[in-house]
Amino acid sequence: MDSDPVVAGVDHVLVRVDRHEPLYSILTGAFDLPSPWPLASHPAFASAGVSFGNVDVELVRFGPTFGRTGGANARLYGIAFAPDGDLRTSERRLAARNVRHSGVVPYVRRGWDGTLDHLWNAVYLGGLLDDNLWQRGVFALLRALPESFAKSRPSGARGDVVALLDRAFPNGMAFLVEYEPAFSEAFEREESRRALRERGGGPLGVEGLAEIVVGVENFERTRRRWTRLLAPAEERERGVWRLPGGGPAIRLVPRRKSGVEALVVAVADLATAAAFLEERGLSGGVEDGVGRVDAGSLGIDLRLVERSEA
């Protein structure tokens, strides 16, 4: 296997929402976590960021909001990885490792003056959270589509994004992302990390995201796929990889249905964090050194551990 890495680390984690509230207000208000980018609307989605120090969490709503008031409001949906090098190099390494992937997919937005702005490129990864015919067909189409054509029209004009995601990525998505410099300069990532340190991690004492827990069907087969993607990162234990750059580890757990299951947050003092959650009516209890935020309030599984246990 090629010893050069594909993945440099976790860029951000996606939480798919129908409405950004109340989750955004709990994270940035009650928990006092900084926001590296405020709520911004694009033709195909609306997004807001929350900093956990070493990685950002993106609350993203795909498609319009009207008529979508039922069902769960939020769920953990995906992992965006930073590539090691450029995405063209990543494509070659993915092909050499037999990791299913799309071609390089640009995201293009039409500006207020009618001009087209190229914001980022992505390469979508298959077989890690989902593996279906729709996904394979989409990947084949994206590889065949000339990049010049994809950059010639706004991304929001490409049909019903919600229907496409629900068919090709029903359990969530993993992808590599590379931003255009002019777009990434609008993020306040470093400022948000510094602000979190200055706030002492907020009332929870957040020190960073320790782990991303991913449930997978057919554990051994899927583990081999993740191993090929993440090499040369070594497994700390079976199905657990610590990636470079000080970001969160990836932990696979066997489940009947695949998907991003939980975020494990390192805090300075678990007892202090648990007491704050209890006071605010947001506690899901503490067991075996792991605190939980009430999932009914957040809509996602957020777990707390002391840094020494991370």
Q: pLDDT tens for residues 113-122?
A: 677 777 889 9
Q: How far is CA 158 from the centre of its chain?
A: 22
More confident residue, 283 or 154: 283
pLDDT at 150: 52
- Whether omega for the bond prior to residue 64 falls within 30 degrees of 0, making it cis, is no
Position 66 confidence tier, pLDDT thresholds 50, 70, 90: very low
pLDDT at 300: 96
Domains of the chain: 7-189 (3.10.180.10), 199-309 (3.10.180.10)
Element (H, E) at 138: helix 133-144
pLDDT at 159: 46
Torsion of CA 118, 57, 158, 174, to 10 degrees: 100
Min mean pLDDT across 123-127, 183-187, 189-193, 217-221 is at 183-187
pLDDT at 58: 97
**Coil vs helix vs strand at 131:** coil
Position 44 confidence tier, pLDDT thresholds 50, 70, 90: confident
The answer on pLDDT for 157 being more than 90 is no
Give me the long-range contacts of 131-139 (CB less than 8 A, separation at least 24). 131/100, 132/167, 132/168, 132/170, 134/167, 134/168, 135/168, 135/169, 136/100, 137/168, 138/102, 138/164, 138/168, 139/100, 139/101, 139/102, 139/103
More confident residue, 70 or 72: 72
pLDDT at 148: 52
pLDDT at 68: 46
From CA 229, how far away is CA 216, in angstroms rounded?
A: 15
Q: How far is CA 17 from the centre of its chain?
A: 13
Position 2 confidence tier, pLDDT thresholds 50, 70, 90: low
Position 112 confidence tier, pLDDT thresholds 50, 70, 90: low
pLDDT at 116: 77
Strands 40-41 and 45-51: antiparallel
Please give the biggest Cα pair distance in the chain: 56
From CA 233, how far away is CA 244, in angstroms rounded?
A: 8
Nearest to 50, CA basis, from 195, 163, 175: 195
The answer on pLDDT for 8 being more than 60 is yes
| Region 47-57 average pLDDT | 96
Position 54 confidence tier, pLDDT thresholds 50, 70, 90: very high
From CA 87, how far away is CA 11, in angstroms rounded?
A: 14
More confident residue, 66 or 108: 108
| Residue type present at position 296 | G
- pLDDT tens digits, residue range 242-268? 988 889 999 999 999 999 999 999 999
Strands 206-216 and 249-254: parallel
From CA 64, how far away is CA 125, in angstroms rounded?
A: 25
Residues 6 or more apart whose CB falls under 8 angstroms from that of 70 comprise none
Q: Two tokens at 263?
A: 């975020």
Is the CA virtual torsion 288, 290, 291, 294 positive or negative? negative
Average pLDDT of the chain is 89
- The residues that bridge with 15 in the sheet, in sequence order, are 59, 76
Position 284 confidence tier, pLDDT thresholds 50, 70, 90: very high
